[in-house]
Amino acid sequence: MLAMEYRGPKRVRAVQKPMPEIKHPQDAIVKVLRTCICGSDLHLYNGNVPDTRVGSTFGHEFIGEVVEIGSEVTKVKVGDRVIVPFNIACGECHFCRQGMFGNCHESNTEATAVGAIFGYSHTAGGFNGGQAEYARVPYANVGPTIIPAGMDLDDAVLLTDVVPTGYQAAEMAGIQPGDTVLVFGAGPIGIMAARCAWLFGAGRVMIVDQEDYRLEFARNYSYCEAYNFKEIGDPVLFFKKATDWLGADVVIDAVGAEAAGNTMQTITGRKLLLQAGSATALHWAINSVKKGGVVSVVGVYGPTDNLVPIGNVLNKGLTIRANQASVKRLLPRLIEHIQNGVLNPKALITHRIPLEEVADGYRMFSAKLDNCIKTVMIPPTANHQ
């Protein structure tokens, strides 16, 4: 089958790889119909995530058609079209029973913090991802969710990560009616978080980035104020002034480990890898939120240390909430929002390319070429579906 293969930092190719096989009675094999390049994939692509091994196939955002099931799979059948959450979760452990599917205690033998994630290095379990024609899906009685009849496949694929992560960013923030919400990062997750902030009653929503085309997209899609941090001086000072010197009620970090804007953070976190990525956005979030406010973190950071102003967190009385989105828990509500026209995920998609052009897709998305917001790839076996 055709699949993306990682060959080292900034080097990916479409190659022929062996077909996945059933390894456990609860496995399913899925023919991929749509798969995406995620901003989190760029952390892998750029070599910033530990234990990202040559030969790996990335891709934690994919939907597909079930073509084979293990002997214990009862919740899906061959021929079903399914949303595959990016979390791999057993459904039975202490954390899954709490709805914390992103923190499954059984699926990832490589770590005790995060659960397993498709195509996201051996620190997230070492599973191959869905940027391929076919993918093995463990715990097929838990994760895969049947795509509702009539749902556009482009909407469905964004339910694997972008929509639930953006929604959970707003949910974790505990937004109260009338709150001012500030979002750092105008990638797909930040744009979706800004859009979802209104669903929780926000009275004002602002978003920050350094790319004007992304900011313009956010203005139109998320109905928010948008600011280029390169044009406003000190962002913390700017947003304090814009909020009567109090700070935003809620700040969302939707950037993570590759934030620009601070030379020291960039050198130590992105160049020398002395910390788990650049924590610039997290610094700005902590310092821009009001006393007693909430910082919600969905931007990806590595499992090692970061230089973070914890003293400011203490002295301001902040609440920090952070996690990988628990997709399975959120899907029923998000499917309803799409069916009712409250959310329109597919409008985020700016580029559709064949899987054969995966190297160009990564280069375009990484370099922010051609006003790229979100890229969907279509494997050759999925043509016309």
Per-residue pLDDT tens digits for 66-77: 999 999 999 999
User: Of all helices (H) and strands (E), which one includes residue 11?
Assistant: none
Q: Is the pLDDT of residue 360 over 80?
A: yes
CA distance 101 to 4: 26
Q: Is the pLDDT of residue 242 over 80?
A: yes
Measured in degrees and rounded to the nearest 5, phi and psi for residue 214 equal: -70, -40
Residue-level pLDDT at 274: 65
Q: Is the pLDDT of residue 110 over 90?
A: no
CA distance 154 to 379: 14
Q: Is the pLDDT of residue 385 over 60?
A: no
Measured in degrees and rounded to the nearest 5, phi and psi for residue 236 equal: -65, -45
Residue-level pLDDT at 279: 79
More confident residue, 309 or 195: 195
Residue-level pLDDT at 265: 78
pLDDT digits (tens, 9 = 90+) for 127-139: 999 999 999 999 9
Residue-level pLDDT at 333: 97
Q: Is the pLDDT of residue 305 over 80?
A: no
Quote the distance between the C-alpha of residue 240 and its chain's center.
Answer: 28
State the residue for tokens 């020398």. 272
Q: Is the pLDDT of residue 226 over 70?
A: yes
pLDDT digits (tens, 9 = 90+) for 17-31: 999 999 999 999 999
Residue-level pLDDT at 384: 57
One-letter amino acid identity for 304?
A: T
Residue 377: Cβ within 10 Å count: 28
User: Of all helices (H) and strands (E), which one includes residue 115?
Assistant: none
Residue-level pLDDT at 43: 86
CA distance 4 to 113: 27
Model confidence at 49, in pLDDT bands (50, 70, 90)? confident
Alpha-carbon torsion 136, 297, 343, 186, what sign? negative
Considering 83-92, 257-266, 295-304, the range whose residues carry the highest mean pLDDT is: 83-92
What mean pLDDT is reported for the chain? 94
More confident residue, 251 or 265: 251
Model confidence at 258, in pLDDT bands (50, 70, 90)? confident
Model confidence at 264, in pLDDT bands (50, 70, 90)? confident
Token couple for 150: 């009539």
DSSP-assigned letters across all residues of 320-379: EEE----HHHHHHHHHHHHHTTS--GGGG--EEEEGGGHHHHHHHHHTT-TT-S-EEEE-
Model confidence at 303, in pLDDT bands (50, 70, 90)? low
β-sheet with 289-297: strand ranges across: 225-228, 204-209, 180-184, 248-253, 289-297, 319-322
Could you give the domains of the chain? Answer: 2-161+326-382 (3.90.180.10), 165-322 (3.40.50.720)
Helix (H, G, I), strand (E, B) or coil at 280: helix
Measured in degrees and rounded to the nearest 5, phi and psi for residue 273 equal: 55, 40
Find, among 229, 198, 132, 180, the residue nearest to 342 by Cα. 198
Residue 103: Cβ within 10 Å count: 22
Q: Is the pLDDT of residue 50 over 90?
A: no
Residue 199: Cβ within 10 Å count: 15
Query: Mean pLDDT, to the nearest integer, of 176-185?
Result: 98
Q: Is the pLDDT of residue 275 over 80?
A: no
CB 16, CB 52: distance < 8 Å = no
Q: Is the pLDDT of residue 187 over 70?
A: yes
Find, among 324, 335, 302, the residue nearest to 86 by Cα. 324
Query: Mean pLDDT, to the nearest integer, of 341-358?
Result: 97
Token couple for 4: 């993306």
Model confidence at 80, in pLDDT bands (50, 70, 90)? very high
Q: Is the pLDDT of residue 307 over 90?
A: no
Share above pLDDT 90 across residues of the chain, in percent, rounded to a whole number: 84
